[in-house]
Amino acid sequence: MLRILVSIKQVPDTTNIRINPETGTLIREGIPSITNPYDIIALSFACYLKNNYGGKITVITMGPPQAKSSLREAVEFGADRIILLTDRKFAGADTLATSYTLAEAIKYLQAEEGPFDLYLFGKQAIDGDTAQVGPGVAVRLQVPVITQTVKFETLDLEKRIIRVHRKSENGIEILEAKLPVLLTCDKGLAEPPFSPFPLILKAVKAEPEIFTADGPVNYQREKLGLRGSPTQVKKVYTPEVKKKGKIVDLSTTPLKKVVDEVIELLKSKGIL
Amino acid sequence: MEELKFDVVIVGGGPAGLSCGITLAKAGIRALLIERGRFCGAKNLFGGVVYTKSVKELVPEFPNVEPSPVERPVTEEGYYIVSSEGLVKLLHRKKDPHEAFTATRARFDSFLAEYALKLGLEIAPKTKVLDLLKEGQRIKGVIVDRPRAFGDPRPTEIPANIVVIAEGVNRVLTEKAGLIGRPFGAEDVALAVKEIIQLPKGALEARLGLAEGQGLAVEIIGDITACLPGTGFIYTNRNHLSFGLGLFLSNLRESAFKPYELLERAKNHPHLRELFKDGEILEYGAHLIPEWGLEGLPRLYGDGVLVVGDSAGLVNPLFREGTNLAIYSGIMAGKTIIEAFEKGDFSSRTLKAYEAQLRESFIYQDLITLKKLKKHLFTNIHLFKTYPELLYDTISLFFSAQGRPKREVMREIFELIRKKRGFLGIVGDLIKVGRALW
C-alpha cells in the first residue's frame, strides 16, 4: 500500500488578478481563492495512484483558516487525512520558512504513522511562481526530488521504483527513482478525476486537523513566518513585452512574397 | 460505504430549495440537497433585493448574523422615469430601512447553505440530477451524474420518499415528472441582463446622495429599454452597484437589439451615464425569469414530488418579488412534507396540501392579479413610451413657467396630453390597471 503525502496551497485566482501599475502590488480585493492548479495535478496523480495501486492520501496545507476549503476539495480526490497548518506566526513566510514549516509537520506525521513513499507537490504556486518549496522540503526530509514531472510511466511496488518523465529545457528526461521520492507535478501528469458522489457529500462536511505554531509540532519560533524569512521584496513590476511580432497583411501582400519574406527572416536569425 | 438513502431529495440550491431544506432540517427530516454549481449561488442570478421578513422566517436571528449577506439596507426606493430628453426621479425614504436589503446571489445563497448545513441538511454541490427514479407515476428518487466510486461509469441512483424540484426556470425535471401542461414560449419569460459595476471610491455615495449604511433600489421605466416593455434597475451594493434590464424575450426577439446592446445603450443614456463614469465592470450575467404566471403554472405536486420557486413560476415582476416567493414556497413545501412524514403517506393525497396552502396565500392571489395586469399593462406600449415622455415634458413645462402667463402654460400642458395620448386614452388605461389591481 502506497503512503502518499500531498502538499497544496490556496492561491488567489490569478486569471482575475490585476496589478496596480503605480505601486506594483497585487490588487487582491474581491479576488476569489482557488486551489493552486499545479496542486490539483498533484492531487489528481495521488488519486490515480491510490485507485490503481491502493494507498492512503494525506494532504497538508499552510494558510489562513479559509484554506480549509482547498482541503475539502482534496477530499473529493480521495484524501483520507487532511491537515491545516494555520497560525498568525506562520504568516508572511517566504519559501525558506514555508519549507521548514511544512517539512517539520511532515516529519511529525511520519513519526506518528510511519514514513511516506511519495511526496507530491505542485510544480509551483501561481501567485509566487518560485517553484522552491517542493525542493526545499525534499532537502529537509533528505529525500530525492524530481521537479516538473509531466508523465507517469510505471511503478514497481516490490522493487519500490517509480519511472516518470521530467520536462527540462533540453527536452524530456526519463527518470527512475527509488521510493521514497518527492515529485513536483506539472501539466500532463494526471487529469482531475470525476469524483464519486459519496466523496462529494463527504467533502462538504470534512473538517481538517489543525496544527498551529504551538503544537503538535515542535517548532523553533525564529524559523517561522516573517521572522524566519530572509527574502526581501525590493520591487515588484509587470514585465514589459519587449519582442514585438511582425504582422503582414495577406489581403494587401501576395502570399508568395510573404512566404519568401518569412524564409528570409528565419535565415537571418539562423533558424534555417 | 454508507447507504445513500434519504427521506427527501431537493434538486437545486437556490432560495426555494434551501428554504425547504432548512424547514426539513429543523424538523429532523433527513434531506439531501443537490446543486449543479460549485457551491449554492454559483450559477444563480437576480437583480439584487431581498425582503428581510421572508429571510427571518428561516433565520430568526437575521440580520444579526456573521458573516452577513447584506450588501446595503434599502433606505430609498422608487422609480426613475426616463425619456430621451430627460429624467424624472420619484423616490421615497422608506419608513422601515430594514425592510429590504441588497445582496448578491453568490453570497446570499451560500449564506443560506451554510446555515442549512449547520442544521444538518446534507448538501452535494457540483452534481447534476439526470433523471427521476419512477415507479409508475410515483417519483421514488433521483439519478445523479456522479458514480458511486472512482472509475465506475454508472450514474448513482438515490432513492427518497419525496423529491422537491427547485431546479429554477428551465424546469427540465418538472417536465420529466409529467407536471407541465405546456412548454413555455418566448412571451412567458423575461430575460434579465445585469452588470455589477465598481465605481471610484466614494462615487457611489456622492452620485446617489447616500451615506454609509444607506442604499437605493430604483426601477427605471421608459427610454432605458428603448421603450420596449420592461424595466431597468439600479441597486446599490456595499462597494458597487447592480445595473440591469429585464425584458420579455418575445419583445427582444422582435426588436433589432441584442441584450448586451440594449444594456450598453442604457448605460450610455445621456441622463444616466454620469452615474457610471469611470466604473469598472466586475461581473456580468444574464438569466431567464419565469413570467408565465397562472397560465403556465405547472401542477405543483404529484405522487412523491413537489415543485417550488422559479420552476413553478412564482415571480411578481411588478413588485420585484421572486426570491421571497421562492422562500415562502420552500417553507410551505417543507411543512407539507413534515405532515406527510407524520402520516407516513407520500402520495399526492397528502402532498396536495402544499398547493392548497399556496392558493390561500398572497402568492396565488397575486398571480391572479398579475394575469390581468400582464394582459393590460405589460403589453401597453404607452406605459413604456408615451407616458414617460409625457411625464417628463409636462413636468419640464411646469418648472419652466416663470415669466409667462400661467394659464398659457397650463393650456400648453393640456394640449400636450391631448396630443400624446388623449384624455380618453389615459382614462381607459387607468381603468384597465385599476380593474387589474382591485
Kindly give, in sequence order, each residue whose CB lies less than 8 Å from that of residue B419, ignoring residues fewer than 6 positions away: none
Judged by CB atoms within 8 Å, which residues 19-48 of B form the interface with A?
32
Residue with cell 404566471: B293
* Distance from C-alpha of B349 to C-alpha of A62, rounded to nearest angstrom: 55
Q: Are A46 and A171 found together in one domain?
A: yes
Pairing mode, strands A181-185 and A145-156:
parallel
How many CB atoms sit inside 10 A of residue A247's CB?
6
Number of domains in chain A: 2
What's the grid cell of residue A116? Answer: 511516506
Q: Which residue in B2, B125, B152 is closest to A196 by CB distance?
A: B152
Q: Are A166 and A251 found together in one domain?
A: no
Grade residue A56 by pLDDT with cuts at 50, 70 and 90.
Answer: very high
- Judge: B122–A194 Cβ closer than 8 Å, yes or no: no
Among B378, B326, B358, which Cα is nearest to B189's? B378
Q: Are A120 and A211 found together in one domain?
A: yes
Which portions of chain B are predicted below pLDDT 50?
A: 1
The mean pLDDT of chain B is: 90
Q: What CATH number is attached to the domain comprising A12?
A: 3.40.50.620
Kindly give, in sequence order, each residue whose CB lies less than 8 Å from that of residue B83, ignoring residues fewer than 6 positions away: B222, B223, B388, B389, B391, B392, B393
Q: Which residue in A51, A78, A198 is closest to B148 by CB distance?
A: A198
Q: Are A245 and A219 found together in one domain?
A: no
User: pLDDT digit string (tens) for B105-127?
Assistant: 889 999 999 999 999 999 999 99
Q: Are A48 and A135 found together in one domain?
A: yes
Q: Are A257 and A155 found together in one domain?
A: no
User: pLDDT digit string (tens) for A70-84?
Assistant: 999 999 999 999 999
Task: Report how far apart the first and last C-alpha atoms of chain B are (Å, whole number).
Answer: 59
User: pLDDT digit string (tens) for A138-182?
Assistant: 999 999 999 999 999 999 999 999 999 999 887 889 999 999 999
Q: Are A132 and A266 found together in one domain?
A: no
User: pLDDT digit string (tens) for A248-268?
Assistant: 777 788 888 888 888 888 888
H/E stretch holding B293: none
A201 near B CB under 8 A: yes
How many CB atoms sit inside 10 A of residue B89's CB?
11
For residue A221, the Cα-to-chain-centroid distance in whole angstroms is 26
- Using alpha carbons, list the distances in angstroms from residue A72 to A60, A127, A204, B113, B373: 11, 21, 7, 16, 49
Segments forming the whole domain that contains residue A254: 241-272
Q: Are A173 and A251 found together in one domain?
A: no
A205 near B CB under 8 A: yes
Average pLDDT over every residue of A215-226: 87
Q: Are A164 and A258 found together in one domain?
A: no
A69 near B CB under 8 A: no
**Inter-chain Cβ pairs, chain A and chain B, closer than 8 A:** 47
User: pLDDT digit string (tens) for B393-420?
Assistant: 888 888 888 888 888 888 888 888 888 8
- Residue A168 in any domain: the answer is yes
B201 near A CB under 8 A: no
* Distance from C-alpha of B216 to C-alpha of B200, rounded to nearest angstrom: 18
Q: Phi first, then psi: what are they for A226, rounded to 5°?
A: -60, -35
H/E stretch holding A34: strand A33-35
Kindly give, in sequence order, each residue whose CB lies less than 8 Å from that of residue A110, ignoring residues fewer than 6 positions away: A116
Residues of B in contact with A47 (CB under 8 A): 150
User: Is the pLDDT score of A27 beyond 70?
Assistant: no
Q: The complex's ipTM? A: 0.85
Q: Are A72 and A127 found together in one domain?
A: yes
What's the grid cell of residue B386? Answer: 408615451
